[in-house]
Structure 1
Amino acid sequence: MKTSKKIGLYFGTFNPIHIGHLIIANYMVEFSDLDEVWFVVTPHNPHKIKKTLLEDHHRLAMVQLAVEDYPKLKASNVEFNLPQPNYTVNTLIYLEEKFPDQNFCLIMGEDNLKSLQKWKNYEVILERYHLYVYPRISEGIVENQFSSHPKIQRVPAPVMEISSTFIRKSIKSNKNIRPMLPPEVWNYLDEMNFYK
């Protein structure tokens, strides 16, 4: 009989994935009870403008390159074939049907927790899934109606103040931001001349 794994889903456009994402995902898998973390590459976040995104397959390729050496971290393109825009609740239900043996949880930053009540069917998410929340410095600890929810677990992961937006702007202005990206991702971006 298959043993059920606890899988943390880390959603994002990862445009591009950077060391901040990797550090958080790796911390979650090493210092919480999660067995794996899947980077779910979102084709279109309903709250983001599509035109600023690199094509889906390029963002997925960079995530795959970034996690190659981390057996507990995986890249997932599950949302590529789901109706767009993608809503987390639909993806969770789809994954549950596709992998009935696995136990899926959500990983999110403190900032997302703040706006959770704006999410589609957020009550269903809270009822059925555990949320692992990592801190964001700009937000501090958010006290809201979810603060003491039994399904919400705060994980004291390192606070990462690197954003994909900052990386894209820096590349455009010809700054060397190599240390902020996994080397394979930097090489890919550089060869493809992305964000310039």
Structure 2
Amino acid sequence: MQQRFLYITLSLTNQIMKIGLYFGTFNPIHIGHLIIANHMAEHSDLEQIWMVVTPHNPLKKKDTLLDDYHRLHLVNLATEDYPKIKPSDIEFKLPQPNYTVNTLVHLQDKFPKNEFSLIMGEDNLKSFHKWKNYEAILQNHEIYVYPRVSSEADNIEFKNNSKIHIINAPIVEISSTFIRENIKNKKNIQPLLPSKVWEYINHNNFYKK
């Protein structure tokens, strides 16, 4: 199974670059994820986007997730035609459950010359104050925020912080939950997935039960 991890390449080349970390369980990855990642790669000062596959989100039950390496392979399939977007298994090697602050410390220690930034949705920014050691994250890293549809008032606590960059990215309202439910209900969701991702999911009968 061929994998393309920039995380490994950097350790060999000692290349310095500004990297955007797009964390997610990607269960499964869909075109909405790619639209956002590609927009960040093309319309911000981020040079590379790493799709960091999280083996265990502390807010999600692990038994609802597809096997870690299947999800990683789906990300690899989805991004192979995007040279600025790479899959990463970095969190597979860290203690679980995974907390972003621990991953960032690990990355900065391994690649001290590189600059790592976070990519998150506007809804996640609203709850950012609940993250473990969020003050340390904000002190040491920039955050790139893409918009989400929300009925709440525009009162984001961190929005005027100099480390926060609100990116005028397309609003994408596609969720992995929606895709899983529709596969289970035998609905056609092929337009919402990269073709190779759909083929792999369909071939292996994922999410059908």
Q: What's the TM-score bracket when you normalise by the shorter of the two chains? A: over 0.9
Deviation at 1:144, TM superposition (A): 2.5
Match of 1:18 in 2: 30
Residue 117 of structure 2: aligned partner: 105
RMSD (Å) for aligned C-alpha atoms: 1.3
Verify: 1:184 aligned to 2:179, yes or no: no
The equivalent of 2:59 in structure 1 is: 47
Of 83, 88, 113, 1:76 maps to 88
Letter in 2 for 1:83: P
Q: Which residue of 2 aligns with 1:119?
A: 131
Q: Cα distance 1:53–1:151, how it changes in 2: closer, same or farther (>3 A)? A: same
Tell me, yes or no, if the aligned pair for 1:13 and 1:45 is still in contact at 8 Å.
yes
Match of 1:32 in 2: 44
Question: In 2, distance between residues paired with 1:2 and 1:171?
Answer: 43
Contact 2:126 2:157 survives alignment (8 Å):
no
Once the two structures are aligned, what percentage of the paired residues are identical? Answer: 63
Q: CA separation of 1:184/1:4 partners in 2, compared to 1, >3 Å: closer, same or farther?
A: same
Q: Distance in 2 between matches of 1:37 and 1:141?
A: 30
Moved over 2 A (4+): 1-4, 138-142
Q: Write out aligned runs for 1:158-173 (5 A).
A: 158-173=170-185
Shift of 1:50: 1.0
Asked if the contact 2:182/2:188 (under 8 Å) is kept, the reply is yes
Q: CA deviation at 1:98?
A: 1.2
Q: Gaps (5+ residues) in structure 1?
A: none
User: Residue type matched to 2:113 in 1?
Assistant: D
* Compared CA separation, residues 175 and 145, structure 1 to 2 (3 A): same
Structure 1 residues 3 and 54: alpha-carbon distance in aligned structure 2, compared to 1, 3 A threshold: closer
Q: Secondary structure at the match of 2:52?
A: strand
CA distance in 2, matches of 1:92, 1:145: 22
1:84 Cα offset (Å)? 0.5
Could you tell me how far apart the structure 1 residues matched to 2:142 and 2:79 are?
Answer: 24
Query: Which residue identity does 1:10 align to in structure 2?
Result: Y
* Deviation for aligned residue 1:97: 1.1
Q: CA separation of 1:177/1:47 partners in 2, compared to 1, >3 Å: closer, same or farther?
A: same
Decide which of 142, 150, 156 is 2:168's aligned counterpart. 156
SS in 1 for 2:86: strand
Aligned pair in 2 of structure 1 residues 89, 139: CA closer, same or farther (>3 Å)? farther
Question: Which amino acid letter does the alignment assign opposite residue 44 of structure 1?
Answer: H
Distance 2:117 2:154 in 1: 20
TM-score (norm 2): 0.91
